[in-house]
Chain A
Amino acid sequence: MIIQEGIVLRERLVGEHDKFIDVLTKNSGIIEITAKGAGKIGGKSRSSAQLFAYSKFCMNKRGERFYLNSAEPIHIFYGLRDSLQKIALASYFSEVLTYCIDEDCGSEDVMRLVLNTFHYLENGKRDAEMLKAIFELRLMAEIGFMPDIVGCRMCGVYEPETLYFSEKSSCFYCEDCFGDAVDKDYTKIKLPVLSALRHIVLADFNRLFNFRISDSAMLALSAITENYLIEHLERHFKTLNYYKDIRKIYE
């Protein structure tokens, strides 16, 4: 019997009563669990195996597959269903995670990031665009795509007023050195955006969600983190397009 806490990121109905669920766990990455009876009305694990539920799962492993024995819900992120915008963003996070995290890869920090992001998205204490930016960039840093944002790549200056950031090369140049750069595929940003990028990548989890930035800087930050993720994962996400469509309607 294996006991693990995890968040359900995706569910697929099989037949009338059964489900396959993809669960992000702390020690084993994302695992697929066969949950018999979880789709049945009144089924004992129906609530703990629903989408975005953080639960304690007791499983049996037969061959390569996990079979759900029983489950106990810890926190069901029910508030994510308050609005289309929240559910669309949470679905985007889930799609990204199921794409990047494999089975058997320890993901304690990723799990912490997801729990915190869902928590702030659920209670609405942080702006959705801010959560999107934090999630995208911190996740990339956690899985090995940390950008080099300590100083200008050429002269090493730490706080230039204006700078040019490249999602492709994961680095930036100050205004003086930019003329010598070979690759011209750069985004011009200001110092507050760089400070936010540094905070997201380097801050401790206790302080990760505690920063403020102007609305215009937030838009620039969100665009950069999104492009950074797409550039390095080399694919587009349908749920992201859906989230953007929904956001347009709400604006």
Chain B
Amino acid sequence: MSDETLWVKFTQSGTVEDYLRYKEKSDDNTRRNRPERTSCGRT
């Protein structure tokens, strides 16, 4: 289920539980889309 779908579900119920499900997915996506950290010369 995408984070947008979870957001829609949250707006329907307005509950904290649904918000947390949305937030978890949304944070997952943010982490996945974040560029890899470049190393500082160490291998």
Contacts and interface: CB of A to CB of B under 8 A. Distances in A.
B16 A119 contact: no
A75 B14 CA distance: 10
Interface residues on A, range: 10 to 19
B2 interface: no
A5 interface: yes
Nearest to B10: A115
B10 to A, nearest CB: 8
A205 interface: yes
Contact of A112 (B11, B19, B23): B11
A206 B8 contact: yes
B12 A112 contact: yes
Given A74-B19, A75-B19, A119 B7 contact: yes
A26 interface: yes
Interface in B1-43: 7-8, 10-12, 14-16, 19, 23
Given A74-B19, A75-B19, A26 B11 contact: no
A111 B15 CA distance: 12
Contacts of B7: 116, 119
B14 A205 contact: no
A19 interface: no
Nearest to B16: A74
Given A115-B10, A116-B7, 14 more contacts: A5-B14, A26-B14, A56-B16, A72-B16, A74-B16, A74-B19, A75-B23, A111-B11, A111-B14, A112-B12, A115-B14, A116-B11, A119-B11, A205-B8
Interface of A: 5, 26, 56, 72, 74-75, 111-112, 115-116, 119, 205-206
